Structure 1
Amino acid sequence: MFIDTHLHVIDRQALSYPWLAGVPPLDRDFLYAQYEREAKRVGVAAALHMEVDVAPEAIEAETGYIHTLAAEPGSLIAGAISACRPEDPAFPAFLERCKADPFIKGFRRVLHVMPDDLSGSALFRENVKRLDGSGFTFDLCVLPHQIPRAMALADLAPATQFILDHCGVPAIAAGEEDPWRKHITDIARRPNVVAKISGVVAYADAETWDISTLAPYVEHVVDCFGWDRVVWGSDWPVCTLGGGLSTWVAATHALFAGVSEDERRKLYSQNAKRIWALTG
């Protein structure tokens, strides 16, 4: 059974997603009921909702909306990773409000589509430091050349658990492994960083990828981080760009067919339970 650490729900009637206009294949509703039906069929036992880069004024409304989905009978949703804006002077007050809501398990500020220097600003760095001791995780969604900037953030808050999304977003379709490979080795030396095995089918050529395409990237991440510092995520519905949830689950089983049951259990569910204090 899987704990999906990276579910996105897109409901354009409820929330505003300015970035969708630039990604036509995703510019439609991807509702929770659609995900749940398929997820339960492929063995997902619980999921964390990952923020979907809503309009800044809708960040807290998005969490409220996910709360309502989690309250439905039989819902898989066990918590939310909220969007945040560490570059905003209002971040400290936002953080205090989030501390009052145990449903919020962590934060993410999308960085891979932002200017490289955003995370290097004094205010951004100061606010990331505020996460130390808060119990919240912080997801890092960065391009390969931005991984050194992610390392700098992780070094600012050594008591905070950082999560490197999507294996560090390697350029699989282009067959590029450098500088990604070296940067993965370097960031894995930070004990407060965990890698998320997710999203990779969306970075491969949708028409031609197979297990041998993904394996060098996934295996390098696991080799560097080890079995106690990897978690699994679907990245639904972004994974539909490379085949969809069922295809990614099947690929995951194939990629890890040769490892021990204990190693699979750590990746699929146990590490996530520990990191986000999930029960069940």
Structure 2
Amino acid sequence: MRLDAHQHFWQFDPLRDAWITEEMAVIQRDFLPEDLQPLLEDKGIDGCVAVQADQSLAETDFLLSLANKHDFIRGVVGWVDLRSDQLSADLERYTEQVVFKGVRHILQAEPDDFMTDLAFMAGVKKLADFGLTYDVLVHQGQLEETLQFIDQLPEMPLVVDHIAKPQIKEASFDHWAKYMKAIAERKHVTVKLSGLVTEADWKNWKREDFTPYIDFCLEHFGPERLMYGSDWPVCLLAGSYSGIYDLLQSHISQLSDTEQGHIMGGTAAKFYSLSQY
């Protein structure tokens, strides 16, 4: 099974989606399953994992409603308030739907010490009681705290989104690599090869800009702990769906069919328990 392990849907709201600035006008519109499905089919991808882009229960309900109408949406990573007194009730309600696979919070926008706050950590730990995963969305400046966060969750299935957002445009590498090497030693952590182009120069990136980052992930995590994600439609800021797919394919083409299979679906299917499909 070939999977896109990271993409988004939304009905654009200029107030709710204020993070989509005028510089990002190309994604200031609705993006729905009818827009994505032909792109997946064109590349022979069987399904996707829809990931939250707004921090509300309404967002989770929205994604689940789409998944219930479109079989190619194989999993949903939603949002719940991990510090809420109602957390257990929310998780009980959502896990009644088999397509609900995990939770994400937009940690990249939070202040220092947020992710290691005891109340937040307790909420993340509770996800494991419900058989859920957690997507870690951070940028490279948060990696020291991210490592502390990960070490408090030794039994929790974790995946780092967008390879922790290194500053590819500036060719910044050493700080990112130092902490990602340490994270790679934590065997319960996987990584999404996603979101790369939006950390590069949107208009002038070259394939070789990404080589050291992808090579590093292959060396330290290995194909069985890596998964392809398009980050569509955010990727449209710096290219096309086809271009993003081809970028990764060109890089992993030297791997064996088995290794490519892990990255292009096998790892995601195992991590998000999608084998029933």
Q: Which residue of 1 aligns with 2:196?
A: 200
Of residues 173, 183, 186, the one that matches 1:187 is 183
Work out the CA distance in 1 between the residues paired with 2:189 and 2:23.
29
Aligned partner of residue 65 in structure 2, secondary structure: helix
Structure 1 runs, 4 residues or longer, greater than 4 Å off: none
Q: Which residue of 2 aligns with 1:72?
A: 69
Deviation at 1:167, TM superposition (A): 0.9
Deviation at 1:67, TM superposition (A): 3.0
Q: Relative CO higher for 1 or 2, CA cutoff 8 Å, sep ≥ 6?
A: 2
Work out the CA distance in 2 between the residues paired with 1:193 and 1:22.
35
In the TM superposition, 1:163-174 aligns within 5 A as 163-174=159-170
Aligned partner of residue 118 in structure 1, secondary structure: coil
Q: Which residue of 1 aligns with 2:247?
A: 251
Deviations 1:202-258 (CA, angstroms, capped at 9, x unpaired):
111122212211111111112111121111111001111120211011111111111
Say whether the 8 Å CA contact 2:40–2:47 is kept in structure 1.
no
Say whether the 8 Å CA contact 1:9–1:30 is kept in structure 2.
yes
Q: Which residue of 2 aligns with 1:237?
A: 233
Deviation at 1:22, TM superposition (A): 7.2
**2:126 is aligned with 1:130:** yes
% identical equivalent positions: 28
Q: Please, which runs of 5 or more residues in structure 1 have no aligned partner? A: none
Work out the CA distance in 1 between the residues paired with 2:258 and 2:170.
34
Work out the CA distance in 2 between the residues paired with 1:38 and 1:248.
11
Work out the CA distance in 1 between the residues paired with 2:127 and 2:61.
22
Say whether the 8 Å CA contact 2:147–2:179 is kept in structure 1.
no
In the TM superposition, 1:89-100 aligns within 5 A as 89-100=85-96
Q: Which residue of 2 aligns with 1:222?
A: 218
**2:102 is aligned with 1:106:** yes
**2:177 is aligned with 1:176:** no
TM-score, normalised to structure 2, is 0.91
Aligned partner of residue 271 in structure 1, secondary structure: helix
The residue type paired with residue 42 of structure 1 is K
Of residues 135, 154, 160, the one that matches 2:156 is 160
Deviation at 1:28, TM superposition (A): 2.1
Aligned partner of residue 48 in structure 1, secondary structure: strand
Q: Which residue of 1 aligns with 2:59?
A: 62
Work out the CA distance in 2 between the residues paired with 1:223 and 1:192.
16
Say whether the 8 Å CA contact 2:195–2:229 is kept in structure 1.
yes
How many residues were matched structurally?
Answer: 274
Deviations 1:15-40 (CA, angstroms, capped at 9, x unpaired):
94353357643332222211112221
Say whether the 8 Å CA contact 2:194–2:230 is kept in structure 1.
yes
Work out the CA distance in 2 between the residues paired with 1:177 and 1:88.
37
Structure 1 pair 129–194 and aligned structure 2 pair: CA distance change class (3 A): same
- Stretch moving more, 253-262 or 119-128: 119-128
The residue type paired with residue 47 of structure 2 is A
TM-score, normalised to structure 1, is 0.90
Deviations 1:41-61 (CA, angstroms, capped at 9, x unpaired):
12221101000124x3xx2x3
Q: CA RMSD in A?
A: 2.0
Q: Which residue of 2 aligns with 1:146?
A: 142
The residue type paired with residue 115 of structure 1 is P
Work out the CA distance in 2 between the residues paired with 1:41 and 1:277.
25
Structure 1 pair 166–40 and aligned structure 2 pair: CA distance change class (3 A): same
Q: Which residue of 1 aligns with 2:17?
A: 17
Q: Which residue of 2 aligns with 1:32?
A: 33
Q: Please, which runs of 5 or more residues in structure 2 have no aligned partner? A: none
Deviations 1:109-160 (CA, angstroms, capped at 9, x unpaired):
1111111221122211222222234311100010112122222222222221
Structure 1 pair 63–128 and aligned structure 2 pair: CA distance change class (3 A): closer
